[in-house]
Amino acid sequence: MNSKKKLVFGIFLVLIGMTVISFVRQTEPWTAEQLMAPADLAARINKTGASQPLLVSVGPSGIIKGSIETGPARDKENLDKLRKLLKKEDRNREVVIYCGCCPFEHCPNVRPAFALLTEMHFAHAKLLNLSHNIKVDWIDHGYPVK
C-alpha cells in the first residue's frame, strides 16, 4: 500500500472513530440542560401563583402533586395517550415528564416519552431528574404528593 493510500485509509479510520465516539456520548434523547432538579420542581409546585409546567407521569404511578398520568410509555397505547395529551398543548409550554420506577439507565419509559416530546417540537421539554427512583429522589425529601 503506498503512502497516499495509507493516509486516506488513516483519515477514514479517524472519521469512523469520531462518529462512533459521538454516538456513544449522546445516547440519551435529552441533554443535561433538559434535566430538572426535583428541588426546583417542588419549589414551583409549592409557590402560590408560580407558572406551572404541564407535569406528566410516564411511568406506573403519578404520585407528584398536579401531575397527569398517561401510563408507562414503554407501551404503545400509553405513548399514544401521551401524544393525544400533547397535541392539545402549545409547543412553547414547558412540559416536564417523570417516571421514577427505577434508575434512568434501566427505565423503559422516559426515553420513548422524551423522544416523543422532541419529535413533537416542544421547545421547553424537561425530564425530572429522578436518578434513583421516585421514593429516594422525591418522597423521602418530603416533596409534594397527591
More confident call, 6 vs 80: 80
> Quick one: pLDDT at residue 32?
93
Query: 68 in the Ramachandran plot: left (φ > 0), alpha (ψ -120 to 50) or beta?
Result: beta
List 54's β-bridge partners, or say none: 95
- Say if CB 64 and CB 138 are below 8 A apart: yes
Choice between 96 and 106, residue whose per-residue pLDDT is larger: 96
Instruction: Give residue 89's region: left, alpha or beta (phi > 0; psi -120 to 50).
Output: beta
Q: Which three cell numbers stand for residue 141?
A: 425529601
Question: pTM value?
Answer: 0.80
